[in-house]
Structure 1
């Protein structure tokens, strides 16, 4: 498996066509897409292209946002944006852990003030699966190649330090691989094992994307083992009854 950072992609603005910039970057790097290639694209540029940027100066914080902001030492305007993207607050400590309107459980409902102008924040795309599918279709129309697309974001994890890439939207790839019934190295039959290749691929791409000044919003992954197909990122969600951390 090979990961290739796509460089020379300009700063994205609302209304920009990401597929065009990605194809231009591939051309500049003398890369031709192949069937079964995977494109992993950072959530931040997808949100910007979609116009999901909030100017905090336009936000009037609610009394609840002010109360929470005081408790966690956070700008209440930013807290108000987080609450607007939230179904439920699952933990309130030094940071907000929320169940987003999409169904993700993550810090601050995915609201991010990095890689955006000062005083502004990005919010998650409204439907990341749709974003991934739209990009996949546009690239197939231009190149004729059958690829997979993953929209990724960097999140923390319970009981572990350090952010890693997670898939938040997918197209052309099945999100889960079920190993039940297969044999392990000693001939034993697996009973419940499932793996999430889309998260593994997002994590691999995040090493190329970086978290600060790298300016690599997309990564090409080649020769990775995965199953092509239709699916939704929601297939990875645990129900509340099965989630031991909520």
Structure 2
């Protein structure tokens, strides 16, 4: 269906990330600080910090900002006691939602997430209610027209689990989370740059939404992503191209 173009969804997602870059930097800095605090300042020995560093680089964050955040976390300069929490729920049309948070106030965060969902036609679920609909994995999305043979060769040589090309020509590579950094480096060295990549919760089955339902679902996602304590939002909804 033209209205459910995966490529359009990827471009829309990337555009929203660019528009929110200032707030995105704040969230990544928090992620870097917590990772350095929990497992040390060496990215080569701290996978969580390595991922956060890659995320910061992808968001064009200056290296000095990254190093300051690492120093603050590893040196004990951050007095906040953040904890990682995942909330599960439903959006419009029964679409599943996962909300990953870093918070120093659990009550505040759950209240904000619950309010955002319920106000716009969703609801907060119990632990385990939707997470089984997603797979934790590394993911790389390449634009239509990319060299499928070149991507396939690098992917298979460096531990990818799967390479798929959809009807539009979007190439998706998935791997185990621990293989993500190795694969990302291999793609970069081969001159193959994905449109989007990261360690994600990939939806195993997608729910297609159109018209007002798509607009309402997009609003839920945007509002959740706008909450200070929310780091990532995942959904199995595929929304049409309506802005």
- Between structure 1 and structure 2, the one with the greater Rg is 1
More helix by share: 2
Q: TM-score, normalised by structure 2?
A: 0.28
TM-score (structure 1 length as normaliser):
0.28
